[in-house]
Chains A and B, each alone.
Chain A
Amino acid sequence: MSEFKNISGIACILDIDNIDTDQIIPTEYLKSIKKFGFGEFLFDGWRYHDIANINTPTSSRSLNQDFILNQAPFNESKIIITGKNFGCGSSREHAVWALRDFGIETVIAESFGDIFYNNCFKNGVLPIALNQDKLLMVKDHVSNESKLHISLVDKNIVIKNEKIAFEVDSGMLDMIITGQDEVDITLSISDKIKSYESNRLKHKPWLN
């Protein structure tokens, strides 16, 4: 994975609280055994009028033109701005895969579901949590001008002459910037896992 340090692009507002992972990607698409190809099913229930079916080509489906992601320029959004508790519900990583495959690089929200939040960092999608005041500033800006610029290194969102700072764990952000593989990093200290494990099984033999 290549390093990336800035996100710049079209932002769309989904002004709804508690958007759950079933809305981000319906269960039907969880039947896939692949890790890619979910972009066309993002927000399926809102983007199409007909029933989700993994075997139906999306080109033959009836688009809901009232839904913002079906309207230019938002059909090329890189940024979603939403309310609180985005990504609550099911642990399905497919929700992040769908956002990523659609081209979404960051979601800005008041808060996120815990499991979804962790899943984002494993797939190069940056979740940014902002307090209500800051979120309102970003929404106001995007309502007038649909483009937004975010600096990952400086941890801020650039709006005209102002910079809105956001907080994100540096280690987790590094994973997005460098695209490191967590399994490789953990296995580099496998001796520590082995020694913990043998000690644990010795003292708690019922776990064997």
Chain B
Amino acid sequence: MKTLYDKLWDDHVVEDLGSGDHLVYIDRHFLHEVTSPQAFDGISKKNLKPWRLAANIATPDHNVPTARGQNFELESIEDEVSKIQIIELDRNCNKFDIPQFDINSEKQGIVHVVGPENGFTLPGMTIVCGDSHTSTHGAFAALSMGIGTSEVEHVLATQCLRIKKLKNFRINLLGCPRDDVTSKDVILYVIRSIGTDGGTGHAIEFSGDYISSLSMESRMTICNMSIEAGAKVGLIAFDKITESYLSDKVQLDKSEYDKALEYWKSLSSDSNAKFDKEIEIDVSKIKPQVSWGTSPEMTSDYDSCVPELDQNSDKYSTYKKAIEYMGLKEREKLSDLTFNKVFVGSCTNSRIEDLRSVAAEVKDKRISESIEEALIVPGSGQVKLQAEKEGLDKIFIEAGFSWRDPGCSMCLGMNEDKLSPGDRCASTSNRNFEGRQGHMGRTHLVSPMMAARIAIHGGIPHE
């Protein structure tokens, strides 16, 4: 009896190398401008070519400007070093013949948004990328994980990874959530419950009737942040919802599709499969979540307070440092905080469903006077087009938001979209680390719905 992870693992082992090491075949490799140049350089120096070209797909996302319009010239990127990196991706893709959605492509966007929406992410695949949020693709019952640049080079050169098997961890999410609780709140609650190292060394499979009820977009948000719970692999079984999402995205003839579908239907854990660790969470008890500190586990209910410092707790020094950095006081009500920035975007929450949720909150309203900048950065060119087709861009602009072009943007502030020292930002991204969104910036992780409400109220609304 096997777990979903066991099945995917067994299907991809090329060779058992002894003492736990295995050579594992990689079906899909996503590339972006930041973690690939040194890997391309590595294979060039060894006079090697990519092992299997069709496995690769590249797009620039991490440091592209997000106010660029059509027919953007790379030369106009002000930051010389960013420009070199994006040009280098172009150069490497041309040199090695790797397909790329370049900066002016309609399909360019955040690699973890682009992959699924173009049918590059398929159930049963192994998927890697030099980016820890590659766990996103696990929502499609694909064994998918972030890797370092040496491993990017290894995959380019050999189409394989040398890795050890992870342990199995199942998180059963049961029940029906409140109307104002989204999958972002649920994954933040999971991280807060098990800690940022709760899933270390494990592949987490998310299951239960709550997961079955979710759209693919919401499932991607959950798997995306499994890395914030320490697990580089997050997984969700294949079902009717996966099938329906894929139906208009994969280009296969009927007989091939039927064969694939028959295999995909086997991609779930056997009913009596054994997990090394298993927990259950009742999602009906979860309230909207807001992070208060500098680690995703430092998260609380939206109607609660900053924790009280306890000198006897082993968390004392870590919490004290976080509270100081965030400009907070112990026991301060989260709803008393004033925000001046809002960021809607990132591989966690920049898909069409996220933008619709923001639009529903801000329609015919204006953002608060306290908000100096409110960015909405769609995850891809296709998300942007769809949003504009639905008129969402007009709703955002009328409410006072800045409507941008696709990229990672203020999630990590590699381009111009950065927080300034002391800024307090409601962000739909995934990490609230010190300086993550800009030097001395203060990040509060929230759902798109909460980000929209904070934009309107200038703070976390009271009940």
Contacts and interface: CB of A to CB of B under 8 A. Distances in A.
Interface of A: 15-18, 20, 22-23, 26-28, 30-35, 45, 51-52, 54-55, 83-85, 88-93, 96, 111-115, 118-119, 122-123, 169-171, 182-183, 186-187, 189-190, 192-193, 196-197, 200, 204-208
Contact of A192 (B14, B85, B315): B14
Interface of B: 14-15, 17-21, 23, 25, 27, 34-35, 37-38, 41-42, 46, 48, 51-52, 54, 62-63, 79-82, 84-85, 88, 122, 124-125, 130-132, 145-151, 153-154, 157-160, 162-164, 196-197, 200-201, 227-228, 230-232, 250, 252, 256-257, 259-260, 263, 295, 297, 315, 317-318, 321, 412-414, 431, 433-436, 439
Contacts of A27: 412-414, 436
A197 B159 contact: yes
Contacts of A83: 318
Contacts of A204: 124, 260, 263
A33 B37 contact: yes
B19 A171 contact: yes
A83 B439 CA distance: 24
By Cβ-Cβ distance, the 8 closest A-B pairs, closest first, are A122-B150, A33-B37, A93-B148, A119-B148, A91-B146, A31-B81, A91-B132, A85-B197
B419 to A, nearest CB: 11
B132 A45 contact: no
- The listed residue with most B CB atoms (<10 A of its CB), out of A17, A90, A170, A192, is A90
Nearest to B314: A17
A17 B200 contact: no
A12 to B, nearest CB: 16
Contact of A113 (B23, B147, B153, B230): B230
Given A91-B132, A113-B230, A193-B158, A22 B436 contact: yes
15 contacts: A18-B297, A20-B431, A30-B414, A35-B38, A85-B230, A112-B200, A114-B231, A115-B145, A171-B21, A182-B150, A183-B46, A183-B158, A190-B158, A192-B23, A207-B125
Nearest to A170: B19
A110 B82 CA distance: 36
A127 to B, nearest CB: 13
A88 to B, nearest CB: 6
B85 A33 contact: yes
Contact of B230 (A90, A114, A192, A206): A114
Contacts of A115: 132, 145-148, 232
Contacts of B250: 206
Contacts of B315: 17
Contacts of A23: 433-435
A119 B403 CA distance: 37
A179 B160 CA distance: 20
Contact of B257 (A122, A171, A206): A206
A69 B413 CA distance: 26
A122 B14 CA distance: 21
Nearest to B437: A27
Contacts of A84: 197
Contact of A55 (B41, B81, B295): B81
A193 B160 contact: yes
B22 to A, nearest CB: 11
Contact of A88 (B124, B196, B252, B435): B196
A206 B122 contact: yes
B23 A189 contact: yes
A183 B48 CA distance: 10
Given A45-B435, A200-B25, 15 more contacts: A23-B435, A27-B414, A30-B414, A55-B80, A91-B130, A93-B150, A114-B200, A114-B230, A115-B132, A122-B150, A169-B164, A187-B158, A193-B25, A206-B257, A206-B260
Given A115-B146, A169-B19, A197 B25 contact: yes
A113 B231 CA distance: 9
Given A18-B295, A119-B148, A33 B38 contact: yes
Contacts of A54: 81
B433 A186 contact: no
Given A22-B431, A33-B38, A45-B439, A28 B414 contact: yes
A111 B198 CA distance: 11
Nearest to A50: B439
